[in-house]
Amino acid sequence: MNRATKHLLFAAASLLAVSAVAGDLKIGIAEALTGGAAQYGVPIRNGFQLAADEINAKGGINGNKVVLVVEDEQGKKEEAINVFKKLIFQDKVLMIFGPTLSNSMFAAGPVANAAKVVAFGTSNTANGISEMGPYIFRNSVMESDVLPVTVRTAVKHYKIKKVAVIYGNDDAFTKSGYDVFKKVLEDQKIPVTTTETYVKGDVDFKAQLTKIKATNPDAIICSGLAEEAATLMVQARGLGLKAPFIGGNGFNSPKLFEVSKTAGEGTFVGSPWANTNPTPANQHFVAAYKQKYGAEPNQFAAQAYDAMTIAAAALKSIKVSGNVTTDREALHGALPKVSISGATGPFKFRQSVGKDGKPAGYDADQTPFIYVIRDGKFVLFTGK
């Protein structure tokens, strides 16, 4: 090989390297796109895609295009680990959004943390997620921040003396919601008449509800997903059980009303997001989502959309060098400083403390809204 060819090759190689840098801000998306958790993972992916498309349509971030590398982690722990490894070591993404379920984050989060890559959950609400390490972020509001407010508001409104509890006990999300409810009820000294459980996939809750009815509670506290909760409500009313429901984060979906109709009247829910929130940022998101996907967005899509806005703000504040290691570190340094006002309202991060007592990852610092269901809609509760 002569000298000139060598030069030419070198020039071509550096040109390729430069073009790869100038064009792309690669961001990994690891969500459950097939399997049971896909009902959350798909809206989440849509939320990211919508935000990224809007950013790119406005010329990208400091002239760089956002490129999403989307992988399906199937809602499985093992698959989440595989996908994280692929995104970190093969695709060399700047950061990863996901995975969908708290279970999977507990498995895959440490992989990202060890590789010093930000893993940013938008739907993980279980306790202990951000304690895993300084590279674990989430903008999903923890149940322990929302539920005390929900319960206190409902108890005051309905003058509740005693409650019954029902929850899904084979799912990290609903089980963790139950643990928080249990603590809240102890703290607020509200007696529990009976605690009932069900498992994922159950559609017949009549045995548990008949039992609850016999204990005559003033309200039913339910830590479940929207689909199950809606069926629960319908079956409760069918059995002549009239007590109002108090729900966790899982209730926050328009799906709740598709089945429950009027069965859910009077239900209290705390939420970081609701589709009726009138702020311009939220109204824009709801309209844009509907136009792009022809479906109502849910809380998970809203949080993904906001998460991408948060990442974009951090990326805008740093100088992208093209060296993936330094860029990942710069992004990690910039993220905690971001505060935005998005579809879910004003947002900033709050650093959590790890099991060893040292500062660890970052949780959402947001005030929940309390909603009550009236005429088959979430209505912001104003004390009446």
Partner 1 sequence: MLEQQLVNALTLGSVYALFSLGFTLVFGVLEVINLSHGAMFMAGSFAALTVVTRLKAPLAVGILAAMLVSGLLGLAIDALILKRLRARHAPHLIPMIATIGATTVLTSAAQGLFGVEVQRFPDELLPTREFIFGSVHVRALELAIVGIAFLLMTTLFLVLRHTRQGRALRAIAESPKAAALLGINVEGLFLATSFTAAALGGVAGLLIGLNFNSVTPLMGQPILHKGIAVVILGGMGDIRGALFGGLFLGFAEVLSKAYLSSQMGDAVAFGLLFLILLVRPAGLFGRVLERKA
* Residue ranges that bind partner 1, judged by CB under 8 A: 34-36, 38-39, 42, 166, 169, 196-204, 206-208, 210-211, 213-214, 227, 231, 234, 238-240, 255, 258-259, 261
Q: Could you tell me the smallest distance in angstroms from the CB atom of residue 357 to partner 1?
A: 35
Q: Could you tell me the smallest distance in angstroms from the CB atom of residue 296 to partner 1?
A: 11
Q: What is the layout of strands, in order, in the sheet containing 118-121?
A: 65-72, 24-31, 95-97, 118-121, 136-138, 359-365, 345-353, 339-342
Q: How far is CA 167 from the centre of its chain?
A: 19
Measured CA to CA, the distance from residue 362 to residue 374 in angstroms comes to 35
Q: Could you tell me the smallest distance in angstroms from the CB atom of residue 281 to partner 1?
A: 25
Q: Nearer to partner 1 by C-beta: 302 or 364?
A: 302
Q: Could you tell me the smallest distance in angstroms from the CB atom of residue 214 to partner 1?
A: 5
Q: Could you tell me the smallest distance in angstroms from the CB atom of residue 231 to partner 1?
A: 6
Phi, psi of 326 (to 5 degrees): -70, -35
Q: Could you tell me the smallest distance in angstroms from the CB atom of residue 100 to partner 1?
A: 12
Q: Nearer to partner 1 by C-beta: 164 or 281?
A: 164
Phi, psi of 71 (to 5 degrees): -125, 145
Per DSSP, the residues of 201-262 read T----HHHHHHHHHH--SEEEEE--HHHHHHHHHHHHHTT--PPEEE-GGG-STHHHHHHTT
Measured CA to CA, the distance from residue 129 to residue 106 in angstroms comes to 7
Burial of 1 (0-12, 13-18, 19+ CB in 10 A): exposed
Q: Nearer to partner 1 by C-beta: 211 or 316?
A: 211
Per DSSP, the residues of 32-81 read --SSTTHHHHHHHHHHHHHHHHHHHHTT-BTTBEEEEEEEE-TT-HHHHH
Q: Nearer to partner 1 by C-beta: 262 or 279?
A: 262
Q: Nearer to partner 1 by C-beta: 114 or 203?
A: 203
Q: Nearer to partner 1 by C-beta: 144 or 262?
A: 262
Q: How far is CA 14 from the centre of its chain?
A: 40
Q: Could you tell me the smallest distance in angstroms from the CB atom of residue 29 to partner 1?
A: 16
Helix (H) or strand (E) holding 103, with range, is: helix 102-114
Q: Nearer to partner 1 by C-beta: 35 or 336?
A: 35
Q: Could you tell me the smallest distance in angstroms from the CB atom of residue 112 to partner 1?
A: 26
What region does 10 belong to: left with phi over 0, alpha with psi -120 to 50, or beta?
A: alpha
Q: Nearer to partner 1 by C-beta: 212 or 340?
A: 212
